[in-house]
Amino acid sequence: MPRAADGKEFAREAPPVVFYGFMKTVLAVTMIFGLCAALPARAAESLGPPAGVTPAVELPPPAPPLDALKECLARQAPGGDECLDLLFRGELEKHAPGALLKSVHQYEEEDAGLRLACHPVVHALGREIFRVKGNIHDAFLACDQTCHSGCYHGAVERFLRGDSKAPARHVTESEIVRKAPSACDVTVERRVYFQCLHGLGHALMFFTENDVDTSLKGCDALSGAWSQESCYGGVFMENVVSALTDRRKMSATDPHYPCDDVAQKYRRACYWMQTSRMQEMGLTTEQQLQECRNAGAFALDCAQSVGRDVSNLSRGGNSLFAAAQCERGKGDALRACIRGAVYALIDNTWDLTYATPFCAALKEENAYCTQTSSDYLKTFIGK
């Protein structure tokens, strides 16, 4: 497993939880922060082109209109997913997947609200790309890292769920164990392989109607501890963000559950997600870090989850506040929070677009943040 600047293992986890795909439970909150705000109008140029020069025509992006995407996102699950699927199904009859991903990326850059909620949008595009391509390999070739690699995750989701419109369907444990190992191609780039494994964890939860224990057993069918743990992360993330709230494995009073209940081999991946549940329970960043100190051997994994969560603040343009949240931790906890933030920020774009401003905003550990970002980009992303 890759290691950070201080020798810590790269505890790989993908997108920040708060706005992660399959997140019907948080889309309403996202709307409050401007999801439905229209793109700012741009002033017209007062001067025309020089004489004899034909002005360039700015063509509209091929993706569905921004307003149409936001309308789908505003719908309650599962209606939002179906709406997005139909939008992209029509667009894929006219445009290449790469052009649609480029358009979504353009929307992401121009609209702060969509930037924090675009992951489920590209999930839908991934589902429809798999429908066209018919297999994981070709679907992955058509996807990229836009919006925290949601396209890859959506393709894996469609691989397991097929064309079923139901939120999930009951399957036997033997079916899960049989099908899970064939989902991801171990020969692809490590960063792409991880996205497949993480998406598999999410898809298993859909496939088992949010049965955490059975989904984890599906991950256990994979070969190798790293592959299994990458899949576990998707399971526990889906447990936190699932729209099937009555089936989530949660406690109303214990901020560590289910991490303090599952087997030891699952606990690290569980704690990488757990502060999103603590946040949902109303705990402040300082209170979350206190609870992390109570997590025993997994205290730093928990602190890393804090960083993953606050990365959303940095992506939303508030790196100073995001950095200040991490700096509520001290020593190893601060470094763990920094790792969680920069891993998530780099995962979003596979470059330093968001990580660099975050590191610059830190009052402490700037050099550690910068070095960790560089190491992660080189070792895991391959740049």
- For residues 274 and 331, state if they share a domain: yes
Asked whether residue 54 is domain-assigned, the answer is: no
pLDDT of residue 20: 35
**Are residues 360 and 244 part of one domain?**
no
Mean pLDDT of 261-271: 98
In this structure, the answer to whether residues 166 and 274 fall within a common structural domain is: no
Confidence of residue 236 (pLDDT cuts 50, 70, 90): very high
Q: Are residue 167 and residue 26 in the same domain, yes or no?
A: yes
Closest to 231 (Cα-Cα) out of 274, 198, 182: 198
The DSSP symbol for 3 reads: B
Count of structural domains, the chain: 2
One domain, residues 354 and 316: yes
Range of the domain at 87: 11-33+75-249
pLDDT of res. 91: 93
Distance (Å) of CA 345 to CA 50, 80, 144, 192: 42, 26, 16, 16
| Residue written as token pair 């998530």 | 344
Cα 354 to its chain centre, rounded Å, is 15
**198 with 341, same domain?**
no
Q: Which of 204, 229, 249 is the last residue of a domain?
A: 249
User: pLDDT by residue (tens digit) across 25-73?
Assistant: 332 323 222 323 333 333 333 334 445 544 444 455 667 899 999 999 9
SS3 82: helix
Tokens of 131: 């429908």
91 shares a domain with 196: yes
- Gap between the Cα atoms of 345 and 341, Å rounded: 6
| DSSP collapsed to 3 states, 171-221 | CCHHHHHHHHHHCCCCCCCHHHHHHHHHHHHHHHHHHCCCCHHHHHHHHHC
Residue 69 lies in a domain: no
Residue 55 domain flag: no
- Least reliable range by pLDDT among 26-35, 254-263, 349-358: 26-35
For residues 232 and 330, membership in a common domain is answered with: no
Q: Do 239 and 270 lie in a common domain?
A: no
Q: Per-residue confidence at 199, pLDDT binned at 50, 70, 90?
A: confident
Look at residues 203, 223, 249 and tell me which one is the last residue of a structural domain.
249
> Do 241 and 132 share a structural domain?
yes
Decide if 204 is inside a domain.
yes
Q: What is the pLDDT of residue 150?
A: 86
Residue that is last in its domain, among 234, 249, 264: 249
Residue with tokens 């769920």: 161
As a whole number, mean pLDDT of residues 269-291 equals 97
In a domain, 147, yes or no: yes
Residue 99 shares a structural domain with residue 186: yes
Note the pLDDT tens digit of each residue in 368-383. Answer: 999 999 999 999 888 8
- pLDDT computed for residue 6 by the predictor: 52
